[in-house]
Amino acid sequence: MLKKAPKRDQLYESLKNAITGGTYAPGSQLPKEVEFAEELGVSRKTLRHALERLENDHLIERLRSKGTFVHFHRYLVLADNNQDLCMPYNYIIPGIIRTAERMGCAVSICAFSELENLTEEQAIASITGQKNAGCIVITNKIDENTRIYQQLKHLPLPVVLAHGHPADHSFTHWPTVAYEERAAWRAALIYLKELGHKRVAAGCHRQDLKEIRGWKREDFLAMLGEIGLDTDPNLLFSLKVQGENADQAMHRLFREQEPPTAVLCFSDFWAPHIYRSLEKLNLRVPEDVSVMGFCGAPMGRYLSPTLSTIDFQYEKTGELALRMLLEPGHSPLEIVDFKLEVRKSTKDCES
C-alpha cells in the first residue's frame, strides 16, 4: 500500500496548484502567516516549509515587513509565421515551455501574423492588456525594418530575442540569445576534412548561391581553401528550403563531374531527400558518400543511417531566453554553443 505524502509536501503541491491555476492572482498578497496557517488547518512550521519551497520555485516573494506576494507571471512567445517543421522555433518553444513549468510561470504562443495588421500602438495595447510580463521573439531574420521589430521597439515590457545573430542586439537593444552560424558551418567542414574528405559538396537554399550560411560566396570558397578542402565552385548546389528537389542536384554532382565524397546539407531536413536521391544513383551512405546535417533537429537521430550533424541546441536556446527574462545578472548577449553530433552517416574517407 502506498504511503501518503507528508503533510508539508501535500500543502506545497496544493498551494503551487492554486497559484499556477489562478486561485491566487499574480501580485496578490497572501494572508499573514498565523492567519494563513489557521485558514489552511496546518501548523506554522508546515506552512513555513511549503512557503520556502514556493519561494525557491519563484512562485512567491516574501518581503520583510511587507508580507508574502504571489510572483506568478505570464510571458508571450512570438514566433515566425512559417509553419514548416524545419523552422527552428518548433524546437525552441519546447525548451521555453519546460523551463516555464520548472520556474512557475506561464507562456502563451503567438505567430507574428496575429499582430500583422495592428499598428504599433494597437500591438502594444494588446500585449500589455493581456497582463504579459514580457516577450520572447523567435527569429533569425530581423533588421530595423522588420515588421515585428517596428511594432515592439517601444513596448514597455522586457523583450528577449531568441535564435538571433550576435549583431541583432546592437540595433534592437533587446537581450539576445544568439548562435554563430558561420563558425558552426566551418566546424562541420573541418570535421569532414579531418575524416579525410577533400571534395565536399555544400548546399544552400538560395538559387544564386551568393551566400551560404552567413558566408558570402567568395569568402566561403576562400575558407574552403584555408582549411584544405577543394574550392571547386561546381561543388556548391542549391535546393528548396525543405530539400525535396534533390534528384537533379545529386545527379549533377555524382554523374556529370568529378564526384564529391561528402555532402553537407543546409539543414537536417534535406537529409532524407538526399538519402533517397543517392539510393537512386546506387550510392550508399556512408560507404560511398558521407552525408552531414546541420541544425540538430530531433529527426536526425531517427534516420537510417542516423545523421551526423551540428546541433544548435534549440531547447537550450528556449530555456536561456526565458531565464534572461526571469533572472537578473545575465549578459545582454548570450551565445549558445553548437555541438558536433557524430552518428552513422559519416565515416573516414580512407576506410
pLDDT digits (tens, 9 = 90+) for 83-134: 677 788 999 999 999 998 887 778 999 999 889 899 999 999 999 888 788 9
Is 251 part of any domain? yes
Tell whether 98 and 59 lie within a shared domain: no
Tell whether 21 and 81 lie within a shared domain: no
- Distance (Å, whole) CA 184 – CA 200: 16
Q: How deeply is 73 buried, as exposed, middle or buried, from its count of CB atoms within 10 A (0-12, 13-18, 19+)?
A: buried
Tell whether 214 and 261 lie within a shared domain: yes
Tell me which amino acid residue 266 is: F
Identify each DSSP E strand in the chain by its residue range. 60-63, 67-70, 74-79, 106-111, 132-138, 159-164, 176-178, 200-204, 211-212, 215-216, 236-238, 262-264, 290-292, 309-311, 333-335, 339-341
Tell whether 50 and 94 lie within a shared domain: no
Tell whether 94 and 202 lie within a shared domain: no
Is 342 part of any domain? no
pTM over 0.75: yes
Please determine, for residue 8, whether its predicted confidence score (pLDDT) is greater than 90: no
Tell whether 195 and 301 lie within a shared domain: yes
CATH, residue 196: 3.40.50.2300
pLDDT (0 to 100) of residue 197: 97
Tell me what the mean pLDDT of segment 265-279 comes to: 95
User: Which of 19, 54, 70 finishes a domain?
Assistant: 70
Q: State the pLDDT confidence band at 16, using cuts at 50, 70 and 90.
A: confident
Tell me what the mean pLDDT of segment 124-153 comes to: 91
pLDDT (0 to 100) of residue 132: 86
Tell whether 90 and 63 lie within a shared domain: no
Is 187 part of any domain? yes
Of 197-201, 229-233, 242-246, 333-337, minimum mean pLDDT range: 242-246
Tell me what the mean pLDDT of segment 201-212 comes to: 92
What's the Cα-to-Cα distance from 116 to each of 4, 7, 77, rounded to whole Å? 52, 50, 15
Is 2 part of any domain? no
Tell whether 65 and 78 lie within a shared domain: no
pLDDT (0 to 100) of residue 69: 83
Q: For the CA atoms of the chain, what is the radius of gyration?
A: 25
Tell whether 173 and 321 lie within a shared domain: yes
Total structural domains within the chain: 3
pLDDT (0 to 100) of residue 2: 46
Please determine, for residue 20, whether its predicted confidence score (pLDDT) is greater than 80: no
pLDDT (0 to 100) of residue 326: 83
Please determine, for residue 18, whether its predicted confidence score (pLDDT) is greater than 70: yes
- Distance (Å, whole) CA 16 – CA 54: 7
Round the average pLDDT of the chain to a whole number and report it. Answer: 90
- Distance (Å, whole) CA 5 – CA 10: 6
Tell me what the mean pLDDT of segment 145-161 comes to: 94
Please determine, for residue 157, whether its predicted confidence score (pLDDT) is greater than 80: yes
Range of the domain at 94: 74-179+314-337
Tell whether 187 and 307 lie within a shared domain: yes
Tell whether 333 and 299 lie within a shared domain: no
Tell whether 139 and 186 lie within a shared domain: no
